Structure formats: structure tokens, C-alpha cells
Amino acid sequence: MSCRLLLTFSLFITGFVMQGCETDNNNISGTIEGHWDVVSAERGGRPTTTLQEAYFEFLPENKAVINLDGNPQDAKFKLGGNSFTVSGTNMDTEYNIETLVGDSMVLSATIMNRDFVFRLKKSK
């Protein structure tokens, strides 16, 4: 009898945990949605000023507009854990979300064999 109770309890907890994992990804998606300006960036561990007007804009339905090279490009993005992948641009890559707190986000990525760190602020 206690085995049956333990099994029922385990299934309940597993379902609860799985639901919690699903909710986290939806919260991240809702949190990154909007226009994010690059306020500073590093290339190869050194500050770079070539990205002064760069931005990421995350739209509903996994659409985005990315402007890293001075030419805004329509893109698609796909969230997965603490990262997202951008496709449909001339610089498709995976970005790691290092931190995401309120209206501040730090991303890291390797683009064209160079390591980048982007510090972003969400526009209001």
C-alpha cells in the first residue's frame, strides 16, 4: 500500500516539476520581448565602439529585427534554456543569455570566429 502512495506522490511531483520548467521558458520569452539597445560591447575581450547603434528587437511569434552591422535584418529566433538562436540573417548564431534582470541583459556569442559580449538595456 505504501508503494502505491509513494508512486502516486512521485508522479505528482514529476508533473509539477515539468510544468515549472515549461513556465520558465515562457517567462524568458515574455521578458526578452521588446527593443534592446546595445549599450556596450566587447570583441575578443576588448571594448569595441563599432556597435554603437546596434540593437536587438524581439517580437511576438519568434520574430526579431537584429541590427549589428548597421543594416537592420528581419530574423527568427528560437529560445532554448539560457540561450537563443538567430536565423535568417547574414550573421546567424547562438547567443548565450549570461544575465537577464529587469531591463538589463548580457549576451555572449561567437560571431565570425570572434568572441563577443553585449550589454543591453531594454527601451521603455
CATH architecture, domain defined by 2-122: Beta Barrel (2.40)
Rg (CA), the chain: 19
Buried b (16+ CB within 10 A) or exposed e, 58-90: beeeeebebbbeeeebebebebeeeebebeebe
Residue 52 pLDDT: 82
Instruction: Give SS3 for 58.
Output: strand
Query: Domain map of the chain by residue range?
Result: 2-122
Report pTM. Answer: 0.75
Which residue has cell 536587438?
56
pLDDT tens digits for range 92-123: 999 999 999 999 999 999 998 999 999 999 99
First to last CA, the chain: 58
**Is the confidence at residue 29, as pLDDT, over 70?**
no
